[in-house]
Structure 1
Amino acid sequence: MHHSVAENGGFFLLVLCIVGGVVSSQGNKLKMLDIPEIGSVAVLYEAQLITGEGPFWKEDEQVLHFVDIPGRSIFRHDPATEITTKATYDEGVSISFVIPVAGQEGTFMIGMGQSVGTIEWDGQDGTALNFTPLTNVEEQAGNRFNDGKCDRNGRLWTGTMGYFNENGQISMNSSNLYRLDSDSLEVQVEYVTLSNGMAWSSDDKLFYYIDTWSLRVDVFDYDIDSATISNRRTLFDLVENGFEGSPDGMTIDVDGNLWVALYNGNGVVKVNGVTGAPEGFIRLPVPKATSCAWGGADLDVLYVSTAAEGADLSEFPLSGSMFKVNGLSTRGFPSVPVQIDIL
């Protein structure tokens, strides 16, 4: 039996991991969670990325893109050849996401600091990157863009995160979730602390969203025509369900289940997108899962990014690697590129 104590925003959670499920003790309350461990995990790309993030499956090329945020680097992995190429931007503070622009081969939209713009990349190793800003936000110093994703029509949604001071404390409620309209970013959710995972239901009627500091997955009603959200409510609460860590990035499958990466939670939890019930857990050989995306020829491989920053690399040397998970008995949707012409 393995005992570990996790601290999250003042919550102390004792989690005892045993075969066949997870037992959590919260005060005097004992709860048995019958959650099976699922999937077959393998290393896709071994590297100690500081903060690997933003996996994006480019379906037309059958390749996976991802970033190392503080490393200001973008990657392209071809599963057919197992070749990974990398390009790094020499300036700026971060590259938080990389999303291809539809119909413009070699053009990608990225988040950089408090700006959103485009870069050109031929996919080759070591290419010099030039950043063309499209628009920016004015938030408190130190805030930066984090996760970004497009709805089915190719509208970009992206949020910011607060600044961590020298004591490791984040600036609370100082960030926002934005929608990109033409050349401006319009606030959709205010008072965010650490904007993170997003997903849409297959009928485009629901929008799922994570503010990591809340330790929740929330759901909104979504209007695909106007790209607007309303009626926010909680779908899944990590603490109430006895999970360690914090919710980070996520994706959705064709059955309507969410797959939520758990930072400091050692894996990915499968959550029912209607009931919010946890239905499975992918255990990784590293503590800090950051995001996930479906890919592969049949869209049945879950690619998971992880972070090395803050991990004990002697105990978890694969921290920061990209992983692939097979055997999940479902499939997902292709990642959606940015449609510039509708913005």
Structure 2
Amino acid sequence: MPEIKKYKITEPYLDLQCGLGEAPFWEKDRNTLRFVDIVKKKLHFVDIKKGPSSHKQWDLDFNIGTTADIEGNDKEFVFGGKSGYGIMNRETKESRWIKKMWTNEERKPDGGGKPGKGETREVRMRSNDGSVDTKGRYYVGAMNDPAIVDELTDEGVLFRLDPNGSIHRSKDSITIPNGMSWTLDNKYMYFTDSPSGSIMKYPYDVETGAITWDKGEIFFTCPIEGGVPDGHAQDEEGYFWIALFGTGKVVRVNPQGEVVAEIECPTRCVTCPGFCGTELFITSATEEDPEKYAWSTKYQGGLFKIDVGVRGCPLNKFKNESKA
């Protein structure tokens, strides 16, 4: 096994007390970090050069789970929101839905479906993590909304929005969709259903967006008891930085799935890392068991930062060829 390099973060970059901080995204052209708080329905921005004092937040009417930039459009960004895909203006805060995820049938009362809660499937679901492939397709995973559903079920779906505006269901029967990325040669896709404890690797057809689900292999399994892989980011060397929710750790994993570095954070529920140059920003959530882990509550929901000396992989942009 390779030697494990150790990092330690002792305090947050921003002490925000997010309910569920997620989706750190580097707006490279602006040198700004964009991230969300799904539970509190907020969108956050911070100018990397100016630092924490530049922090701004927007209050939203609905939750957003994931965002991505749009090719050729620096004023707007695309997002996976409560009930579908939308576009938001970076300067005016105005937003519009461009493709709803759920069918007319799924917008009808269904007795609560599998969890027995939520009048319709659309009502009891929300977007979670997402990522754009090299052809500009935007994958977004939807899951039961914990604000409505007491116990999560496998009603989740991985959706794909193509540049032409068409929407596709790539995979059903998902519980908590997280951590999506591709090998540097785009021959494989990595995908995480967090409760499984593992990140899976699947053959990927970059020309069609087809994923060969029946030929998946385990790439990485969380080695810490009680932890699960949440979001992840890739660096330019093809290594992964994976947030292990419930452990307070973000690990760097080589292409063989071995841990080679470990970042210790001062709160347990770390959710997702994201690169801004060589700096790794890490979002987190409210501590789920504050009585047992009182130490974790002080900086719960904070945003953390550490320079790891390697740059992140460039993020793909959504191609909005339909001009929605």
Structure-2-length-normalised TM-score: 0.84
SS at 1:39 equivalent: strand
Q: Which residue of 1 aligns with 2:50?
A: 81
2:281 equivalent in structure 1: 303
Whether the 8 Å contact between 1:101 and 1:338 is mirrored in structure 2 is: yes
Establish whether residue 270 from structure 1 lines up as the match of residue 252 from structure 2. yes
1:91-138 CA distance string (max 9 Å, x none): 23x11122222222221212221211111122xxxx6x3331111122
In 2: Cα distance, 1:152 partner to 1:130 partner: 27
Partner of 2:237: 255
Paired amino acid for 1:284: C
Aligned to 2:218: 234
**Do structure 1's residue 160 and structure 2's residue 129 form an aligned pair?**
no
Match runs of 1:210-229 below 5 Å: 210-229=192-211
Match status 1:57 vs 2:21: no
Deviation at residue 243 of structure 1 after TM alignment: 4.2
- Are the aligned partners of 1:97 and 1:111 in contact in 2 as well (CA < 8 Å)? yes
Does residue 198 of the first structure (1) align with residue 187 of the second (2)? no
More displaced 10-residue stretch of structure 1: 277-286 or 182-191: 182-191
Which of 73, 80, 97 matches 1:133? 97
> CA 1:243 to 1:331, structure 2 compared with 1: closer, same or farther past 3 Å?
farther
Rounded Cα–Cα distance in structure 2 between residues aligned with 1:60 and 1:249: 23
For residues 61-100 of structure 1, give each alpha carbon's deviation from its aligned partner in whole angstroms, at most 9, with x where no partner exists.
11111011122211111121111111111x23x1112222
For residue 228 of structure 2, the aligned residue among 237, 246, 256 is 246
Q: Distance in 1 between matches of 2:275 and 2:136?
A: 17
- Seq. identity, %: 25
Report whether the alignment pairs 1:290 with 2:290: no
Residue 154 of structure 1, CA deviation: 2.4
Distance 1:307 1:37 in 2: 25
How far has the Cα of 1:247 moved from its partner? Answer: 1.1
Number of the residue aligned with 1:23: none
Question: Offset of 1:152 from its aligned partner?
Answer: 2.4
The answer to whether the aligner puts 1:38 opposite 2:2 as a matched pair is no
Name the CA distance, whole Å, in 2 between partners of 1:214 and 1:58: 31
Alpha-carbon offset, residue 329 of structure 1: 4.2
**Using the alignment, how far apart are the partners of 1:338 and 1:53 within structure 2?**
19
Equivalence for 1:338: 318
* Contact 2:128–2:177 (Cα < 8 Å) also in 1: yes
Selected match of 1:111 from 59, 75, 80: 80
Instruction: For residue 321 of structure 2, give the secondary structure of its aligned residue in structure 1.
Output: helix
CA distance in 2, matches of 1:199, 1:185: 19
CA contact (8 A) 2:279 2:309 kept: no
8 Å contact kept, 1:55–1:305: yes
**Structure 2 CA distance for partners of 1:335 and 1:165, relative to 1, 3 Å:** closer
Mapped partners of 2:192, 2:257: distance in 1: 13
How far does the alpha carbon of each residue in 1:30-88 deviate from its partner, in whole angstroms, 9 at most, with x for none? xxx88635235363222101111000011111111101112221111112111111111
Aligned partner of 1:146: which letter?
Answer: N
**CA separation in 2, counterparts of 1:163 and 1:70?**
10
Partners of 1:293 and 1:335 within 8 A in 2: no
Instruction: Determine the C-alpha separation between the residues in 2 that align with 1:341 and 1:96.
Output: 23
Report if the CA contact (8 A) 2:128-2:141 is conserved: yes
Q: Is the 8 A contact 1:52 1:320 kept in 2?
A: yes
The answer on whether the counterparts of 2:66 and 2:140 sit within 8 Å (CA) in structure 1 is no
Q: Is the 8 A contact 2:20 2:286 kept in 1?
A: yes
Q: Give 1:185 deviation, angstroms.
A: 2.2
Deviation at 1:145, TM superposition (A): 0.9
Q: For the aligned residues, what is the CA RMSD?
A: 2.3
| Closer/same/farther in 2, CA of residues 195 and 85 from structure 1, 3 Å limit | same
| Residues 165 and 322, structure 2, Cα contact 8 Å, conserved in 1 | no
Comparing 70-79 with 159-168, greater Cα deviation is found at 159-168
Once the two structures are superposed, residues 209-230 of structure 1 have per-residue CA deviations (whole angstroms, 9 ceiling, x without a partner) of 1001111100112222222222
What is the aligned length?
Answer: 296
Partner SS for 1:153 = coil
